[in-house]
Chain A
């Protein structure tokens, strides 16, 4: 009982010990944390160490070469680092005190006596799982200096370093090819084994006692069979009897068949995977973006949005189910995933709920757009959702599903057409000013927090900059005598009195030349 108490007190002490926690955290950042920059540096260092130590090993192989004092010192240093790394990883694999505390608290919660032995078994299992993992075995073999050829295994340490590179997932994809086609490979393997065994036994049977024959042992005959069937054909062992040559002919024919079968198998399954590999690359790209937009649907609207966003250097990813549109987006160099944006997993992979700032539902179909809107809102309450709505009657459904903003193309075009009809010049002029495509633009200059509230609008250098002040955008409700209109959550005071005093956070709506606006903006910042 006393030891149990001591154990658990120790565990709690460790848990609250800052130095211990910090050391563990540092080690985690160094060895495991996929997002830490420390780890990338450490990996580079390890890569250099592995390459130079393997290089030294190769250099040292020749019997005339002596390593000398520094060489041996470097070798010892390398081994030292490898051992420390191995121990570090061993330490990180499963936390002892955390397991103890968790189990203890769990036992306390349900009022059962705590059994330390069970916790220790759990800990041992975690450590054992690490020790028996393939990479840990390679690590271990690399630091066991006893048998020289094993030291060469160090080259495999590079594998772990390579794993970090972004496309590790793609490598897994390729490995999965073999798993998926295992029945085909199994058939091929059995066939190969049979052919090699038959040819090897045959050649041994016919040639082992023949004078001048190079086949002396059973191993020789298998070595010959494999060299021949693979069409490598060194020619160090050649059949000398007629029977042996007949076996060679059959073996070569079988070899050509198997090799073409094997190649086509690998190629076909790889090309099936290419799509997925590509997709993973886009996921990896999306996970590194900050505040990007997810564009669902690469129709005409999606295309123009992408064009604008990419021109302004904004980050985005495209999701498009249709093959042709997908290829088009791909050809334009946009990060694009072929798939259905209504899938939650796809949305999560693209950063909904993490680093994605907004999602644009731009498919042609209201039902899909609505579904995407709803899925995205469920995954993340903060993400901005902008959706295209085809039919007027569906607009409320989009609001209900969680869209922040909806665009109705028909209504928009109809309103534009109707407005244009009555006042072509005015409409075009204002539309161009607002879209920012002209040198003369409408823009909003927000007053910074440092803005002194003492300026009256009449005193601002508006006329000097050849600007027109249309109004002020503000949270403050209007005074009665002036014309004021609601714009979203704010008010737009049109043409304010020259003694109106704008305060910080309000926006001045100005019309003017781009450079004048810039100049005025700078002036505002200086105040």
Chain B
């Protein structure tokens, strides 16, 4: 991802905000933490994190923070679902055109649906997530350990997205055609066609897909191999 001209806002200077901020900063993302509570802000500032004291429920403040312009991504981590819903709605309103990714946490049972309805791209229910983790640890311990390895980035191995851009050698071909054309140590799991819908298409399904620019391939493999693959794919050159 190109991170030079984009910024990520994290609303809520709590344990969650801190963890995410640290993870993103280590990935080289330009992060800004925002909270109305002076004490919480100060705590994070002492840890060396870029935190600011602002009232996020005010549209003028949001605009000042860059929503609708530089900000491409926001995290809504306020304690209260109502605050998060308000924030999501304001942000969607301000960034009506242009892509803004909104990730929120829900605290109450109905919160997930409300935040989704408000326009959040991803809503995480911490309780449910924890419970599922524990449950899979009980019922499928082997898979649970593997899950961590597959889901979360490591130094050397990850699941990644590769966006097809002109003049990719894959453009104009069928998905079933290209999955075996890969020579690197990379496996293509499937793809998403953003023009059609947001759903992920597993490559093993019977329906085939015509690849064009803007399609996203989901690939898995060691970092070096994936990097090489990304370069190779988006070169022109037709067939392999």
Q: Which residues of A contact B (CB under 8 A)?
A: 293, 299-305, 308-309, 312, 314, 358, 360, 362, 386, 388, 391, 405, 407, 409-432, 434-436, 440, 442-444, 446, 466-468, 470, 473, 483, 485, 487-488, 490, 492, 494-495, 507, 509, 511-513, 516
- Give the residues in chain A near B15, CB-CB below 8 Å: 391, 410
Cross-chain contact B101 with A424 (CB below 8 angstroms): yes
Q: Does B46 contact A (CB under 8 A)?
A: no
Known: A421-B73, A442-B146, A511-B204. 18 other contacts (CB 8 A): A302-B131, A304-B127, A314-B139, A358-B138, A386-B138, A407-B137, A409-B130, A410-B15, A421-B103, A424-B121, A426-B189, A426-B219, A430-B189, A434-B147, A436-B140, A485-B154, A494-B157, A512-B204
- A422, A427, A511: which contacts B1 (Cβ < 8 A)? A422
Q: Could you say which residues of chain B place their CB within 8 Å of the CB of A419?
A: 151-153
Residues from chain A with Cβ under 8 Å of B190 in the complex: 429
Please measure, in the bound complex, the distance between the C-alpha atom of A467 and the C-alpha atom of B185, giving whole angstroms.
17
Q: Give every chain B residue within 8 A of A490 (Cβ-Cβ).
A: 145
Q: From B108, which residue of chain A is reached at the shortest CB distance?
A: A300
B160 x A301 contact (CB < 8 A): no
> Interface stretch among B16-24, B34-42, B57-65, B167-175?
B16-24
Whether B130 and A412, one on each chain, are in contact in the complex, defined by CB atoms closer than 8 angstroms, is yes
- What CA separation (Å) do A434 and B159 show in the bound complex? 13
B86 in the interface, Cβ–Cβ < 8 Å?
Answer: no
23 pairs from A and B in contact (CB 8 Å cutoff) = A304-B127, A410-B126, A412-B130, A412-B133, A413-B19, A413-B105, A413-B126, A415-B23, A417-B105, A422-B1, A426-B189, A429-B192, A430-B218, A435-B132, A436-B140, A442-B147, A444-B146, A466-B204, A468-B189, A470-B187, A483-B157, A483-B222, A494-B221
Number of B interface residues in the complex (CB < 8 A):
71
Residues of chain B in range 148-166 having any CB-CB distance to chain A below 8 Å? 148-154, 156-157, 159-161
List B residues at the A interface (Cβ < 8 Å).
1, 8, 15-16, 18-20, 23-24, 27, 29, 73, 75, 101, 103, 105, 109, 121-122, 124, 126-140, 142-143, 145-154, 156-157, 159-161, 185-187, 189-190, 192, 198, 200, 202-205, 216, 218-222, 225
> Do B187 and A468 have beta carbons less than 8 Å apart?
yes
Separation in Å of the A405 CB from the closest CB of chain B? 6
Report the minimum CB–CB distance from B132 to chain A (whole Å): 6
Q: Is the CB of A301 within 8 A of B130?
A: yes
Q: With A428-B200, A429-B189, A467-B204 as given contacts, are A421 and B222 in contact (CB-CB < 8 Å)?
A: no
Q: Which residues of A contact B200 (CB under 8 A)?
A: 425, 428-429, 432
Considering the chains assembled together, what is the distance between the CA atoms of A416 and B124 in angstroms?
8
Query: Could you tell me if B101 and A423 are in contact, using CB atoms closer than 8 angstroms?
Result: no
> How far apart are the CA atoms of A495 and B225 in the complex, in Å?
12
Contact B134 A516 (CB under 8 A): no
Q: Are A495 and B19 in contact (CB under 8 A)?
A: no
**A521 vs B14: C-alpha distance when bound (angstroms):** 46
Asked if B152 and A304 sit within 8 Å, CB to CB, the answer is: no
Is A494 within 8 A of B185, CB to CB? yes
Which of the residues A301, A314, A413, A494 comes within 8 Å of B131, measured between beta carbons? A301
**Shortest distance between the CB of B148 and any CB in chain A (Å):** 8
**Residues of chain B contacted by A305 (CB below 8 angstroms):** 131, 134-135
A422-B192 CB under 8 A given contacts A411-B19, A495-B185: no
- Give chain A nearest CB distance to B122 CB in angstroms: 5
The 5 closest A-B pairs by CB, nearest first: A414-B19, A304-B131, A300-B127, A418-B23, A429-B200
Most buried by A among B151, B186, B222: B151
Q: Which of B16, B146, B205, B216 counts the most chain A CB atoms within 10 A?
A: B146
Complex CA–CA separation, A434 to B144 (angstroms): 8
Q: Roughly how many angstroms separate A23 CA and B219 CA in the complex, as a whole number?
A: 70
How far does the alpha carbon of A418 sit from the alpha carbon of B157 in the complex, in Å? 16
Task: Give the complex CA separation of A429 and B156 in angstroms.
Answer: 20
Asked, given contacts A300-B127, A409-B129, whether A430 binds B150 with beta carbons under 8 Å apart, the answer is yes
